Amino acid sequence: MSTVLHWATLIAYVAGGLVSIAYLGKQRAGLYRMGLAVLWVGFGLHSAALAAAWAQDGMLPAANLRQSLDLFSWAIMGAALVVNLRLDLKIMGAVAGPLCALMLLAASVLPKVQGVTSPAFKSLWIVAHVLAIMAGYGLLALTFLGGVLYLLQDHALRAKKLGPVFQRLPSLGRLDSLSHTSLVAGFLLMTIGLITGAVYAQMTLGSYWRWDPKEVWALITWLLYAALLHTRLVQGWRGRRGAWLALAAFAVLVFTFLGAGLLFPGYHSFASLAGFGGATP
């Protein structure tokens, strides 16, 4: 069931992305709305697919890289669609659609490592931990996106070559709102995710913090985003400097998500997640 839903989601994301790109070319408002609607449908299918997988496995589908990427893609699409309800960025569908479709496709080709159902994964704490972190990552991906688009638009404004690309990019003010909103919300959720994770570790493993590589990298990421938030709110780094910092922070976030899980052994690593149950040190 979840496999059918998975492929249906992928089709919807590709279709929604294509319609949104067509909107950028033709500039017809109808296409913009249609693209978003298709993506919303895709997001609904995606949610259903994840729920089905959850029901099937009996635990949150985040046990391996395949499932984690799937979940990350869902979080980005959700964050993009929800944030766009308010900010109405005309370019959102054309970026989020293809991006999430690619992530889903990548997830599809990754090996299916069957996770062992463990009672440790059924706790509400770990559900909160994973979902909060993932939602936070999805929002911070939007901060990254806002930074990239900001730099593009800033460059266009300075180069004074105001061609079709410039016309289709959102205004700096709106991109700044995107960065601001997603950064504040994303940082908050990531913080909640880290706290719930620490509390759960205390409950199951007896200590809040075990210097697991992923924990260390998550801490580095969190500190970077704290710095980003601080410079934005206190020092007013909202222009190019803020955008570059957001890019750097997201690079570290991606490394935390992928690299720290794949390269280093530890109880968060994707390789060992299957056997997680308190057995690993």
Partner 1 sequence: MKLVLVGLSHKTAPLAVRECLAPPPEAVGGELERCAALPGVREAFLVSTCNRVEALAVLDDQADPGVVTGWLAADRGVGPDQIEPHLYAHQDLDAVRHLYRVASSLDSLVVGEPQILGQIKEAYRAATEAGTSRAVLNRLLHKTFQVAKRVRSETNIGGAAVSISFAAVELAKKIFDSLEGLTAMVVGAGEMAELALEHLVGQGVSRVLVANRTLDRAVELARPFGGEALELGELPRVLGSVDIVITSTGAMLPVISLEMARQALKKRRGRPLFFIDIAVPRDVAQEVGELDGCYLYDIDDLSSVVEAGKASRAEAAEEAERIVAEEVVKFMAWLKGLEAVPTISALSVKAEHIRTAELNRTLKDLGISDPEQAAALDRLTQALVKKLIHDPIMFVKHASHDKSDDTRREQLALVRRIFNIEENGQD
Binding site for partner 1 (CB under 8 A): 153, 157-158, 160-162, 166-167, 170-174, 177, 232, 235-242
Nearer to partner 1, 182 or 196 (CB): 182
Number of other CB atoms surrounding residue 225 within 10 Å = 24
- First vs last Cα of the chain: how many Å apart? 36
Q: How far is the CB of 126 from partner 1 (least distance, A)?
A: 39
Q: How far is the CB of 118 from partner 1 (least distance, A)?
A: 47
Nearer to partner 1, 122 or 230 (CB): 230
3-state secondary structure of 13: helix
Nearer to partner 1, 58 or 236 (CB): 236
Number of other CB atoms surrounding residue 265 within 10 Å = 12
Q: How far is the CB of 98 from partner 1 (least distance, A)?
A: 24
Nearer to partner 1, 66 or 232 (CB): 232
Per DSSP, 68 falls in state: H
* Whole-number Å distance between alpha carbons of 22 and 119: 47
Q: How far is the CB of 280 from partner 1 (least distance, A)?
A: 46
Would you say 116 and 275 are in contact if contact means Cβ atoms under 8 Å apart? yes
